[in-house]
Chains A and B, each alone.
Chain A
């Protein structure tokens, strides 16, 4: 069965410092991976997906099939990046999502 692991519950960084939120997955098929974000008092929303290979709000994530990882990175953290981040794996014809347990990013001055 598929699984998504986010080893850090909380990641605290200073403003301007680099950020890396770790995500590892386990899936026998071809993975479709996403990062979702939930800002305070807002809905869970898509941040980026590996297929699009975009940089959103300065964040990037590269799928590494050899290491089965999809880590989220940003070179310089901003206060507004503080939020809950979830890595998710889409599987099956109904695009079901398997989520990790989430990492809370806290950016301090």
Chain B
């Protein structure tokens, strides 16, 4: 069966430090992959999505970037974190268009 992992589960980082959050999917191939952020008091906002290796689409301009170095690996990065980057980051996948998305457990990032 398919599973999705995210790590770390929680992270506290100082302003200006780099960031790397990892998401991996098992049990499927060529999934669509997504990064969402949930800020306090707000809904989930789509940040990036990928339909294949090396293919990244950004939904909102921001301080973050994403990469997909392998078929089932999706990485969210920043060179210098801002306070406003704090939030709950969710990775998700779906096998194809029209299917539901399956979500990972999330990473809670606090930038101090």
Contacts and interface: CB of A to CB of B under 8 A. Distances in A.
Interface in B98-112: 98-106
Contacts, number: 54
Interface of A is mostly: strand
Contacts of A96: 34, 46, 49, 59
Nearest to B95: A95
Contacts of B92: 97
Interface residues of B, number: 27
Interface residues of A, number: 22
Interface of B: 32, 34, 36, 41-46, 49, 51, 57, 59, 90, 92, 94, 96-106
Contacts of B90: 44
A108 interface: no
Interface string A91-109: 0011111111110000000
